[in-house]
Structure 1
């Protein structure tokens, strides 16, 4: 085990970074001062556009600061950027793997770039392959790896020359919970066994709670720095869970969120998680509660602090459509004996489930489990090999075009035209859905107002922060007032405030009778779903409410597992051949 250095691997003093765009000066970082703890993982968190990636790029010597000093491993980044780059590892959000090269060839390429001697490579590769579990796949093309395996290969390439400081910019975006845990295990091994210092940015606050120290940025400014408990301790006694019935939970959450003194109210399975301001928490129990209400104080989480500090109680209720749509008659989605085969590979095997009108239904699974294939079949984008699928009462085999007219689709990449403005995108999607004239203009006006995009009508969609791209993509999917909305990883990489705003809109749509089918890797937000299906190797392992699935995975050692714990237990049991 290598001993951790005692001096800070990173010192930042009064850092300022500005960008000039279209004649305007944008200050991305303002007077940032902080140090990094040696031999530990420091989390970098903040809303979309807070400056996290800009800070990472300045530290890596890829951007030149406009003022202040950044010192990495005793080197001035401004004066010696190449020297800094030679002794750190940096894995950006979109790591540059060469998909037409094998795992071994990607490692060789990065070893050449980092001038790793041939004699040192065999031992280093063996160590990295053992650490990442990629040893059996050295000959496989990178493009044929799963999302989680690609992330691990990207990390291995970053570590070909062992760095003293490792920078990871949102390394777990878009990977499933199993792969996320594996990546974190690798990071902790690097710290514990090699004494490496790590700066890791993340949009997932449950991950940041695993860090020794946390840096919180907002609007380019440093809000606070310290261990996770320094963020959560001020909320002690102010966070509650309230038991609710499935039939009333959305209406109850909406009512609570409007109450004075309620900072945040979020669905959590068959309960609601509520944060009260300090004054209201002192007056507990709350007045005017219906008989039988069950308020229970719970331990604060880092995400609670994030929301409390940055929302300022300003979350507005989403605007509903002026015209209420009629509910679908009968079942919204029916799947019977669904199979999908690619050559001799079975992607989906005998899937059976149904979704009722107004229900929020989640498809969960590890990368390669078959959920994206199932999703694309239900959207009418991919024909089934066998089985029956009815969407909005229409048989997809006989009338896929008719079914598509009744659904809205929001893809993980948002499918926006990045060189078109916000208004031009909305106009395009309105026309694509067959809207014309006054009706099209009314829906565009509705989208701009409801999603708070009016001030950005002339902005190119490619320049929008991630949260605003998400808003625009969802507005586009709702232009034609569909009865069913398909959402494929809609919150991947967005911060907790943007996720909450997004789910506020989903809950409002469900209350209006819109059926929602969503895929997600963020298991805490799957608690918003009425029911979920967990897939592995193309088969449905579990189907039911989040509470029922958690109860199914309970053990004497862990009688009240989180949904992520239940998910991983089911996946691992299936992988080892046990009963799911």
Structure 2
């Protein structure tokens, strides 16, 4: 693609020195700072970058939904600022919160969007057949959209976006909140559209392994383009700088990661397969490099796109915290070694004739990080809500901090914290007002209330955002605020339901540093996530599907149940897919 002379490349999207600003709380915010990007016809382009980098703003400019302040932006050969309607009538756009109608069936949702886009009746039958076959939604044509799993909803949203055969498809993080199996299916569809139908696709994503398989990757940060070109080109910038380190005997990979991230020679560190993957800022002079010292011998491994991405971001001093994010609780919870904090036996929850959770059993010890993994619709959130005392079980035993949650839900809730899957704070209230509200809700008074508010603002670095309405916060700050509110009353157990959904890699590293520090001080963590790499932080995890327990154990034990087609060592994602697919084959 890049070898062609620029003059003859048919750019479908061409931005030259495009700038976009907003006024937020009386201050000028530069969302796009005179950027220039090009996208060729028939290609798949990934748009990646940290929260607040300008990704969604760029997509909305491309779709003609926002005007640029200055510069030039052509889409499909049209000047978007002069004729946005022309562009909008020829593209398909799927925003992060696509507007499906839960009380309409799959067919009725398709009909609605076909009506909106003026698709003739005689064209719909053939188009619907193609879309339903592509998304495998044919057998659910008469099911209400509200009864579909998260992955199926995303596929229906994509089908609705494609009802009129667009010339350009723009997708804003379509795989956020989607499990690995559904994510793989969505990418199969997207790649089929590009390869077989010649469609041009521009997609933003928080999953950097997705960007690695695109024709082009554009990296944005603070409204500027840091990199544009083949994903392999960015990967190669980390060649020779990536190593796998073995933790010392008795050392958890997540604790070694925390030590490495404090080393100024390290650009990134991430638990992986029982080891820690470390990216150095510079090529090491020898094996005695300070970042590699003190561990078992390090082995060099090939660089991935994410390695190059993190290396590129760390070149900007603004992306290197002045002090590593820490997490100190005023009251540690050491308890008794090996003490069982959560006990679940044969847990069942039915909704009418539907069994959402079917005889699930597990235990969680004090200070453990325990992961609940599973596809969309597996019953994880239902299990979560029962653990938090928000939903009564139909049968089974459920004890949290020694209290039977069937009878003592109110008193037990005073000792637990909960971060819901969807941002559950008050969007019209400022950060300060939200913190004040939750301090009052937890019964904090006087000096203790003052101390806990100061603690939350300091620990989560919220000072600069205190007067910003929470609904206008970047994703990373929303996550921090939700965590601060959940920890205001110093709970012994913290439940986190997909807290990193949609967060960029940098924000996820910061989040897990805080979680690791909390666990080290005796706080028990139970977490759900669709980022299978995050299961490596867990002491133990379980995988469930259709409400049933499929596997349980340490990350190493779960990985041992997986397989790879190439015969290599399976990752947590490989194991997850193998376990779920095997169970579904046996159930069929």
Same fold (TM over 0.5): yes
Aligned residue in 1 for 2:234: 231
- Native 8 Å contact 1:250 1:511 kept in 2: no
Task: Give distance in 1, aligned partners of 2:75 and 2:25.
Answer: 33
- Native 8 Å contact 1:16 1:67 kept in 2: yes
Aligned residue in 1 for 2:213: 210
- Native 8 Å contact 2:328 2:517 kept in 1: no
CA 1:246–1:147: 2 relative to 1, 3 Å: farther
- Native 8 Å contact 1:269 1:528 kept in 2: no
| CA deviations over 1:531-553 (Å, ceiling 9, x no partner) | 11000111110101122211111
1:41 aligns with 2:44: yes
Task: Give distance in 2, aligned partners of 1:468 and 1:147.
Answer: 24
- In the TM superposition, residue 190 of structure 1 has moved relative to its aligned partner by 0.4
Question: Which among 431, 439, 445 is matched to residue 448 of structure 2?
Answer: 439
Question: Which among 233, 258, 274 is matched to residue 254 of structure 1?
Answer: 258
- In the TM superposition, residue 7 of structure 1 has moved relative to its aligned partner by 1.0
- In the TM superposition, residue 22 of structure 1 has moved relative to its aligned partner by 4.0
Aligned residue in 2 for 1:8: 11
CA 1:246–1:547: 2 relative to 1, 3 Å: farther
Q: Which has the higher mean CA deviation after the structures are superposed, 464-473 or 246-255?
A: 246-255
Aligned residue in 2 for 1:108: 111
Aligned residue in 2 for 1:477: 486
Aligned residue in 1 for 2:86: 83
Aligned residue in 2 for 1:533: 542
- Native 8 Å contact 2:265 2:291 kept in 1: no
Aligned residue in 1 for 2:335: 328
- In the TM superposition, residue 287 of structure 1 has moved relative to its aligned partner by 5.2
1:352 aligns with 2:361: yes
- Native 8 Å contact 1:318 1:508 kept in 2: no
CA 1:288–1:168: 2 relative to 1, 3 Å: closer
1:314 aligns with 2:320: yes
Aligned residue in 2 for 1:124: 127
Q: Which has the higher mean CA deviation after the structures are superposed, 98-107 or 547-556?
A: 547-556
- Native 8 Å contact 1:325 1:481 kept in 2: no
- Native 8 Å contact 1:327 1:483 kept in 2: no
Task: Give distance in 2, aligned partners of 1:104 and 1:243.
Answer: 53
Q: Which has the higher mean CA deviation after the structures are superposed, 281-290 or 124-133?
A: 281-290
1:142-291 mapped onto 2 (5 Å cutoff): 142-244=145-247, 245=249, 247-278=251-282, 281-286=284-289
- Native 8 Å contact 1:363 1:519 kept in 2: yes
- Native 8 Å contact 1:311 1:497 kept in 2: no
Task: Give distance in 1, aligned partners of 2:227 and 2:68.
Answer: 21
Task: Give distance in 2, aligned partners of 1:398 and 1:76.
Answer: 64
SS of residue in 2 equivalent to 1:332: strand
- In the TM superposition, residue 340 of structure 1 has moved relative to its aligned partner by 0.9
Aligned residue in 2 for 1:450: 459
- Paired residue total: 574
Task: Give distance in 1, aligned partners of 2:167 and 2:467.
Answer: 45
| CA deviations over 1:419-461 (Å, ceiling 9, x no partner) | 1111111111111112111001101001111111112211111
- In the TM superposition, residue 357 of structure 1 has moved relative to its aligned partner by 0.8
Task: Give distance in 1, aligned partners of 2:124 and 2:519.
Answer: 55
TM-score by length of 2: 0.94
CA 1:285–1:37: 2 relative to 1, 3 Å: farther
Task: Give distance in 2, aligned partners of 1:546 and 1:146.
Answer: 26
- Native 8 Å contact 1:328 1:392 kept in 2: no
Aligned residue in 1 for 2:573: 564
Aligned residue in 2 for 1:547: 556
Task: Give distance in 2, aligned partners of 1:511 and 1:311.
Answer: 27
- Native 8 Å contact 2:372 2:526 kept in 1: yes
Aligned residue in 2 for 1:508: 517
CA 1:264–1:74: 2 relative to 1, 3 Å: same
| CA deviations over 1:252-307 (Å, ceiling 9, x no partner) | 3222222341222222241111111215x223333597777131111222222222
CA 1:18–1:449: 2 relative to 1, 3 Å: same
- Native 8 Å contact 2:110 2:163 kept in 1: yes
Aligned residue in 1 for 2:496: 487
CA 1:258–1:139: 2 relative to 1, 3 Å: same
CA 1:203–1:555: 2 relative to 1, 3 Å: closer
CA 1:243–1:351: 2 relative to 1, 3 Å: same
- In the TM superposition, residue 17 of structure 1 has moved relative to its aligned partner by 1.1
CA 1:288–1:549: 2 relative to 1, 3 Å: closer
SS of residue in 2 equivalent to 1:504: helix
Task: Give distance in 2, aligned partners of 1:102 and 1:295.
Answer: 55
Task: Give distance in 1, aligned partners of 2:271 and 2:574.
Answer: 18
Aligned residue in 1 for 2:3: none
- Native 8 Å contact 1:549 1:566 kept in 2: yes
- In the TM superposition, residue 54 of structure 1 has moved relative to its aligned partner by 0.7
Aligned residue in 1 for 2:32: 29
- Native 8 Å contact 1:60 1:84 kept in 2: yes
CA 1:24–1:252: 2 relative to 1, 3 Å: closer
Q: Which runs of 5+ in 2 are unaligned?
A: 1-7
- Native 8 Å contact 1:246 1:270 kept in 2: no
Task: Give distance in 2, aligned partners of 1:292 and 1:491.
Answer: 30
- Native 8 Å contact 2:371 2:527 kept in 1: yes
Question: What root-mean-square deviation, in Å, do the aligned CA atoms of Structure 1 and Structure 2 show?
Answer: 1.8
Task: Give distance in 1, aligned partners of 2:120 and 2:329.
Answer: 67
Task: Give distance in 1, aligned partners of 2:288 and 2:563.
Answer: 31
